[in-house]
Amino acid sequence: MSTTLIIVIAALVLIVLYAISGYNKLIRLNISVDEAFSQIEVQLKRRSDLIPNLVETVKGYAAHEKSALESVVAARAKATTATTVTDVAAADGALTQALRGLLAVSEAYPDLKASTNFLALQEELSTTENKVSFARQFYNENVRSLNEAIKTFPSSLFVPMAHVSVREFYVVDDPQNRQSPNVKF
Amino acid sequence: MSSSNFRALQASNQRKTFGLLAGMAILVTVVVYAALTYFGQGGIGIVPIAVTISLISVWGSYYSSDKLVLTMTGARQIAYEDNPKLFDLVQEVCIASGLPMPKVAIVSDTAPNAFATGRDEKHALIAFTTGILDVMDRNELQGVVAHEMAHVANRDTLVSAIAATTAGAIALLSDFIMRMMWFGGRRDNRDSNSNPIALVASLVVLILAPLAAVLLKSAISRKRESLADATAISFTRNPSGLRSALEVLARDNTVVQQRSTAVAHIWIESPLDGGSVSKLFSTHPPIQERIATLRAMESNPL
């Protein structure tokens, strides 16, 4: 009698421990997704902070490239107000596009390209672009693990308990955006 | 190479490491069994002694590897202001991998090379020679940084410490046993197994075991290098950077000044003269093979 009781209790304890670890796994994955998203926002903010300086520098040498300059400023303004994943991704894509345009235009101004200010900005801009794109990639990896855990058995059992839901991927429209604007040295 | 995507490569290298570590465990068992065959139960006492000595000698250096290697290689730790571009590259890979920022160090040496060490990701240290910083462009350096951070992510300092401990214990064991044969001979002839074939077999095992252990250790090291290449690509998704970095290393024939075999396995390119070391004993896979694997990944990205 008592052995059966012990076996039943042991089985119950094991089931409870299993449920706790399954629940914790989902919560942990959900937190990593949030953290990864805030990393994207940190890097986008960094890039956005570089832009006024970049615009000023380019203006000094190529003031009449109005359209390229204006589209960067407009895209930056839009990016600062976005909040949802889709909006942030869209604004991010537009700004990346505009920056690429501005850098392409700058190619035509040897004085600008030679200025020390611009050279320093280029390194900062290219590392920030890399950081933005790695942060996107890391976020999507985390979303992938979370979504996989939510949709596959047995981790799917704990979804109602953990109150987590499938998250959306950070998709930037333009396929070219997978690469950062190519800054030549 | 049957598959050229990094996830499959990572899985296959992990599996092979596991198989090789299991091989080490089997080797230890065989050595202990051979000792028992030869000496009877009296020989069992030396097994814990050999394991303990080996553990102490390896784990001290494992635990403080980040500090020890600094003195062994003459690396100097640097701050952001010393080399902003290098720090930016390391930060990029940290974001891509989700790893914490490691310590960064520079070795004054014209030979291009780099290494990673540290007992866990919080105590990681990655170092670069001044040569590699001069000769490589941003894209190539990013591949090298990713390879070193991959070693950190895969806990390769731990893996090689385990391999070194086991190989060390096996070498000590067979050394002890040989000495005991020399001086004492077999003490309990009466009750132990006196089948001559078994005795000869156990002798052969004891002589060959240390060699086999070194071969296994080198094989593990080579698998970890291939794994680090694959993991690096999972971080950067840019096989061409690391590929072209390895091509630079392959073209270059200067060699890091200190050729200490004790730290040979930690560099990205083996500092030992490739020509004189046979493939079975080398700590790195042939560089051309690594380049070919990366090239295959470039044509077949995901």
Chain A neighbors of B98, CB-CB under 8 A? 32, 36, 138
Which residues in A lie closer than 8 A to residue B93 (C-beta atoms)? 134
Active-site choice (B92, B121, B148, B298): B148
Q: What is the pTM of this model?
A: 0.82
Q: Classify residue A160: in a domain, yes or no.
A: yes
How much is the average pLDDT of B166-184? 79
Active site residue B225: no
Residue of A nearest to B238 (CA): A179
Q: Which residues of B touch A (CB under 8 A)?
A: 84-85, 88-89, 91-93, 95-98, 137-138, 142, 235-237
Using a pLDDT cut of 70, give the percent of chain A over it.
Answer: 92
Assess contact for B144 and B268: CB atoms under 8 A.
Answer: yes
Which residue in chain A is spatially nearest to B99 when comparing CA positions?
A138
SS3 per residue for B18-86: HHHHHHHHHHHHHHHHHHHHHHHHHHHHHHHHHHHHHHHHHHHHHHCHHHHHHHHHCCEECCHHHCHHH
| Mutate which: B90, B92, B99, B298, vs A, most A CBs within 10 A | B92
B266 within 8 A of B116, measured Cβ to Cβ: yes
Element (H, E) at B89: helix B84-97
CA B170, B186, B50: angle at the middle one, nearest 5?
20
More confident residue, B282 or B211: B211
Helix residue ranges, H only, chain A? 2-62, 66-81, 85-106, 110-114, 116-151, 159-162
User: Which chain A residues contact residue B6 at CB under 8 A?
Assistant: none
Domain ranges, residue A107: 40-175
Structural domain contains residue A11: no
β B114-117/B76-77 pair status: unpaired
Domain assignment present for A130:
yes
For the stretch B102-143, pLDDT in tens is 999 998 888 888 989 888 888 899 999 999 999 999 999 999
Report the 10 Å Cβ neighbour count for B289: 13
Pairwise CB contact (< 8 Å): A127 & B92: yes
| CATH, residue A50 | 1.20.1440.20
Report the Cα A17 to chain-centroid distance in Å: 35
Cβ contact A83:A92 at 8 Å: no
- Exposure string over B86-115, b if 16+ CB within 10 A, otherwise e: bbbbbbbbbbbbbbeebbbbbbebebbbbb
- Shortest CA distance from A137: residue in chain B: B96
The partner residue sitting opposite A138, judged by closest CB among B84, B96, B137, is B96
Task: Search chain A and give the residue with CA nearest B137.
Answer: A185
Q: What is the pLDDT of residue B244?
A: 93
pLDDT tens digit sequence for A28-81: 999 999 999 998 888 888 888 888 888 888 888 877 778 888 888 888 888 878
Asked if B92 and A131 come within 8 Å (Cβ–Cβ), the reply is yes
Q: Cβ distance A119 to A103 under 8 Å?
A: no
In a domain, A111, yes or no: yes
Do the Cβ atoms of A40 and A171 come closer than 8 Å? Answer: no
Q: Is B117 helix (H, G, I), strand (E, B) or coil?
A: strand
Tell me the residue type at A77. A
The confidence score (pLDDT) of residue A1 equals 65
| B67-73: average pLDDT | 79
> What value, to the nearest 5°, has the Cα angle with vertex A75 and ends A74 and A78?
90
Confirm whether A126 is domain-assigned: yes
pLDDT exceeds cutoff 50 at B55: yes
Which residue in A36, A127, A185 is closest to B88 by CB distance?
Answer: A127
Is A60 among the domain residues?
Answer: yes
**Fold designation for B65-155+222-299:** Zincin-like (3.30.2010)
When CB atoms are compared, the residue of A32, A123, A131 closest to B95 is A131
Residue A23 lies inside a defined structural domain of this protein: no
- Average of per-residue pLDDT across B83-104: 92
The per-residue pLDDT for A175 is: 47
Task: Please give the tally of structural domains in chain A.
Answer: 1
Among A7-16, A81-90, B126-135, the least confident range:
A81-90
Cα nearest neighbour of A129 on chain B = B92
Cβ–Cβ gap A134/B95 under 8 Å: yes
Q: How many other β-carbons are positioned within 10 Å of the β-carbon of residue A17?
A: 10
Whether A135 and B85 lie within 8 Å, measured CB to CB: no
CA distance A85 to chain B (A): 19
Give B74→chain A minimum CA distance, Å: 29
pLDDT in tens, B237-284: 989 999 999 998 888 776 666 555 556 677 777 766 544 445 566 778
Total Cβ atoms within 10 A of residue B65 = 24
Q: What separation, in Å, do the N-terminal and C-terminal C-alpha atoms of chain A show?
A: 80
Q: Which of B237, B225, B230, B73 is nearest to B142 (CA)?
A: B237
